[in-house]
Amino acid sequence: MSAVVKSLQAVAQSHAATVQMHAPPELDRLRMLAVKMGSVPVPPPLSEAEVNGVWSQVQAWLGSDQPARALSLDIWKQVPALLWRTYEGQQAIEYPRLREGIAWAASMSVSLASWIETLATAYTEASDANEEGRAWLGDTLRQWCDVEGHEHIDVWRRRDRDWDLFSPDDFPVKLACRLQNSPDMSLRSVLAEAGFLTARAQAADLSRQAFLAYLNIPIPAAQGYDFLHLERIREWKNLLFGESSAWDEVLCAAVINGLLEPWAAFNPSELELQKEIQKRTLEGWFGSVPEGWTGYWSAASSLSRQILERWMILDVMEDFFQRVGQYAEETGSITMRRQWRYRRHFWLAYYKRGVVKTARALLGHGIIQAYGEPSLRKKFGDAMAELQSQDPDQCGLLLQIHELMLIDLSHHGAAYFFLPSNKQKPPADAAIYDRSSLNLLKDVSKSHHGSDAYLWQSDFESLIFDQTGVRLTLSDYSV
């Protein structure tokens, strides 16, 4: 233990005895009455100009060999707000003589309560703080809370007891775990209960470290997470940064991987949750994923990249269903419009299981001519291919479920299945597919009869289960 800490302990331990042994003067009697009434006098905030003036005096004192009493008590009472300012390459709190000066000034006060209040505020609001300095301040606050009997300090004692607030290494994990285990509590209420009442404190170092701890809490692979978890992360980000995008590599990695890796085993059952994670949150904060995973996205782990690439399959499937449905509306094809309602639910059920490896939109001449190839290429990218068929309106959705490939064709078209053992099946990345050739190369062809009674769905599911081991139930795909 350093001499400075020992000195501060001695100051703290002797403080109560000192107050009892020496009757305070009349002014201090009034202050003690205020203490008993639960109102601790705290120095009023100064203007920026006044704070800078105080800082100038503190800097001059730090550069001298004058004793602590060379600065007035009124100046010392403003020092807690200046602890994290830099003087000659070091934060003020790093200077042992400043710590000794605080101890001296506190010993000259009737109560430690106001000092604990202002130092605790400086502790919770510290940003870019020196770690050793913050640890020293936490130790000092804990020691002074132990010896100061003022009831006003009970709240800080409770926060340290319940949250390990004054242990900067332990507090972030404790807060994160408490939040994880308290779905009924809001983020702001948890932060406030722990002592982070101001916007400055909620954006400071300890809040940021708790945010990282929350993101790094392991989530079981079979569980995933819900909207509440995502909303807390969004809210916390806004408390830390507001509209700013001040992301460093550590935070980028924690957010990207913390939001994606829990979905290693399956996709969110609620498609809107995936879209909120992928589109509004990740792409909203970091932009679309560039080629080569550069910039912010370089922080993504290999597992996160695999999951996000898998999630992009949903874009292809949803865009295909939306565009084919729109084309059906515009061309008056009632049959085409109706059949994809059931097919959408059925195929998306496999997507939710996380077993769809590839999805491609095979578009006929009619839809390409209607919307223009450049527009469709912009939407689908490499996932688009041309389908050549006698019926120019016909389109197809190509899916690969594990090693089983299938193409589901519109306009009374069947679904063609290409089994894993088929060595002649068409490549999944071809630019053009010919309907006649597909018909020759297929292993199994199945039609879509009995949509309302879920007849074809049950038939398809049995075949897919036999080939892949992936099982669905009626509730997975019922409309």
Q: Do 88 and 212 fall within a single domain?
A: no
Number of structural domains the chain divides into: 3
92 in Cβ contact with 84 (< 8 Å):
yes
Quick one: CA dihedral 186, 190, 195, 200, positive or negative? negative
Tokens of 451: 């949509």
Q: How far is Cα 118 from Cα 116, in angstroms, rounded to an integer? A: 6
Residue 456, token pair as written in the block: 């074809």
Q: What pLDDT, in 10s, does the model give residues 203-216?
A: 999 999 999 999 99
Q: Which residue has the tokens 């939001």?
A: 259
Angstrom distance (rounded) from CA 133 to CA 345: 58
> Residue 15 pLDDT more than 50?
no
Q: If you average pLDDT over residues 179-187, what whole number do you get?
A: 91
Are residues 97 and 227 both part of a single domain? no
Where are the extended beta strands (E) located within 300-414? 356-363, 384-388, 396-401, 404-409
Task: Name the domain boundary from 126, 153, 180.
Answer: 153
Reduce the secondary structure of 125-174 to three states and give it as a string: CCCCCCHHHHHHHHHHHHHHHHHCCCHHHHHHHHHHHHHCCCCCCCHHHH
The pLDDT tens digits for 363-398 are 999 999 999 999 999 999 999 999 999 999 899 999
Predicted TM-score of the model (pTM):
0.80
What percentage of the chain has pLDDT greater than the value 90?
Answer: 77
Residue 201 within a domain: yes
pLDDT at 267 exceeding the cut of 60: yes
CA distance 100 to 42: 21
Angle at which helices 154-163 and 131-147 cross, to 10°? 120
Same domain, 7 and 129: yes
H or E element, residue 90: strand 90-91
Q: Does residue 367 share a domain with residue 294?
A: no
Model confidence at 219, in pLDDT bands (50, 70, 90)? confident
Q: Are 120 and 72 in a shared domain?
A: yes
Residue 29 banded pLDDT, cuts 50, 70, 90: very low
Query: What mean pLDDT comes out for the span 325-347?
Result: 80
Cα distance between residue 320 and residue 314, in whole Å: 10
Residue 11: predicted pLDDT = 42
Same-domain status, 409 and 375: yes
Q: Are 185 and 235 contained in the same domain?
A: yes
In a domain, 346, yes or no: yes
Residue 413 or 410, more confident: 410
Examine the pLDDT at 43 and tell me if it is beyond 80. Answer: no
The number of beta carbons lying within 10 Å of the beta carbon of residue 241 is 15
Q: Is residue 204 part of a domain?
A: yes
**Domain presence at residue 163:** no
343 plus 457 within the same structural domain: yes
In a domain, 132, yes or no: yes
- Assigned domain for 189 exists: yes
Same domain, 193 and 129: no
Neighbours of 324 (CB within 10 A): 26
What is the b/e burial string over 92-112, where b = at least 16 CB atoms within 10 angstroms of the residue's CB? bbbbeebbbbbbbbbbebbbb
**End-of-domain residue from the set 300, 334, 367:** 300
Same domain, residue pair 257 and 115? no
Paired tokens of 36:
């008993």
Domain, as residue range, for 262: 171-300
Alpha-carbon distances of 102 from 58, 67, 79, 83, 165, rounded to whole Å: 12, 12, 8, 11, 21
Regarding whether 233 and 330 lie in a shared domain, the answer is: no
Same domain flag for 250 and 339: no
Kindly state whether residue 371 falls inside one of the protein's structural domains: yes
The residue among 122, 153, 184 that closes a domain is: 153
In a domain? residue 309? no
